[in-house]
Amino acid sequence: MITNAFLTVLRRNSPHLHTSHKNSTKISLNCNRLGTSFKRFQFHSLIEKKEGKEKKMGRKSRQSDPFGVGSEFDRKVEELFESKEEKKEKEEIRRKKEMSNNDPNSVTIKVPEGNFAERLDKSLPFLYPSVSRTLCQKLVKEGKILVNGMEPKLSTKVKGGDSIRISIDPLHQNHPLSQGNNESNTIDLDNTSVNFVEEGSREEGENVGVYPKWMNGVDLVGEDMPSLVFIHEDEHLAVINKPPGLMVHPSPGHLNGTLVNGLLAKYGKLSMLSGPERPGIVHRLDRDTAGIMVIARTDEAYESLKKQFQERTMVKKYAAVVCGRPQGWNSSESVMIDKAICRHPSDINKMVIATQTSKLSSASSMGKEARTEYKVEKVWNLPKKETFSLLDIQIHTGRTHQIRVHMSSMGTPIVGDPIYCKKHSKHQVDFLLLASKYLEFEHPISHEKMKFSIPLPDHILQYMERLNSSEIVDE
């Protein structure tokens, strides 16, 4: 006897068949022609189990899904009704998966815990910069990317804890395996992050001391960088003026052209306590942020400088040109912004004020303490009611994008900020107008107070000249 479950499957897969009990003989004949007679299914016990579950689930469940979505029976029945083309396509997908799993040149990326869900084609270029969004689309189309062992779509959401496996040509630029490592590579991004403190850096914390797997077989090489300006040098540390557009340290996909490569060319050896991919780095600035940084040449210097950052005894001051006039623009007194910051629930590239997360996501977060103090030094009023301000900023904590998020939260984003300023392209600047201009700390060995300041970088001065020449009113 043909059961209701079987009739349902036939209706779904072969709508041309008349699937009433009265026509059961006709159904059997049609099934025999297809080589799929009911006897050949051999699923009698499975059908009884499913029908029993339907009764327990209730009438509504039977109407919405009388057989059970994704069941083994469903899959096998659909396989019997598949065309040769569909079977061939499935076999090709299976073959690609096997090739990917066995590919010695594949790279497996483990998404850091805590990352909010984001589209694959948006998150992968951020997690693994050597794969652009265009290349990601190509690899997905070719079946060379697996998410948790399954072939994804571009719109597939990846989140913290997921595993992304990429089969990519080892000769591809900056591929870790191009350095001579013949073993399958796993990039555990939870284990590659060393926590630093500074505007635009990772959060405060201790060195985790884990050798990142993407560094296997990779030797960082020195590169001459004439653009690097050394403000102070001794046998324990160095103070430099980082130009805008320069990444501080290598990362998966970016092994060359960083500040670390320039430092290795000059000194050869630096403190390795911050990790093999970040020799000498105690804190960092965003790629487009210019200004003063201190470098640890010895382990003793690194430990002392790290402690000063963590205890917040370092004095760190910045200059920024922002859109609009922030609170306190007509006062000589400074203003303190005390707003906790956390990661954006859906955009892994952004941070937000913690109180905003309840509006953006069902999962709210208390965030981490972030305190920014600023004073308005100059205001420009343009003829078309546009206003810009020059700020003197001191940060009392070191959170990711702290200054940028705090300024944006007040409706006065930093000029040229591609993440937090919606009209950044209108400003026609190469880099955001933010610079680290002053750094004060205690020398790790001599305990002498060290104070360093620099003039504003050229790209900020040039924009200020543009404002000055626009027939504006200076207040």
Among all residues, which ones are annotated catalytic? 286
Distance CA 352, CA 404 (A): 10
As a whole number of angstroms, the distance between CA 126 and CA 121 comes to 9
Greatest extent of the chain over all pairs of C-alpha atoms, in Å:
98
- Please tell me the distance from the alpha carbon of residue 44 to that of residue 1, in angstroms, as a whole number: 10
Question: What does R_g of the chain's alpha carbons equal in angstroms?
Answer: 30
Angle subtended by helix axes 133-141 and 120-127, to nearest 10: 120
Dist. CA 150–CA 138, nearest whole Å? 17
Taking the C-alpha atoms of 438, 441, 445 and 446 in order, what is their torsion angle to the nearest 10 degrees? 90
Vertex 299 angle, CA 297 and 305, to 5°: 80
In angstroms, the Cα distances linking 223 to 155, 254, 266, 331 are 39, 14, 8, 47
- The DSSP bridge pattern shows strands 145-147 and 163-167 to be antiparallel
Residues pairing with 265 in the sheet: none
Which H or E run contains 342? strand 341-343
Residue 366, C-beta contacts closer than 8 angstroms, at least 6 positions apart = 340, 342, 354
Measured CA to CA, the distance from residue 26 to residue 49 in angstroms comes to 26
Residue 465's alpha-carbon distances to 193, 319, 461, in angstroms, are 40, 16, 6
| CA atoms of 402 and 33, how far apart (whole Å) | 70
Instruction: Give the contacts of 349 (CB within 8 A, at least 6 positions apart).
Output: 126, 419
In DSSP terms, 254 is beta-bridged to 251
For 172, the token pair is 């591809």
Question: How many Å apart are CA 168 and CA 166, to the nearest integer?
Answer: 6
Q: What is the DSSP letter of 215?
A: G
Q: Are 5 and 47 in contact (CB under 8 A)?
A: yes
For residues 360 and 383, the answer to whether their CB atoms sit within 8 Å is: no
Terminal CA-to-CA distance of the chain, rounded, Å? Answer: 91
Give me the count of residues in the chain: 475
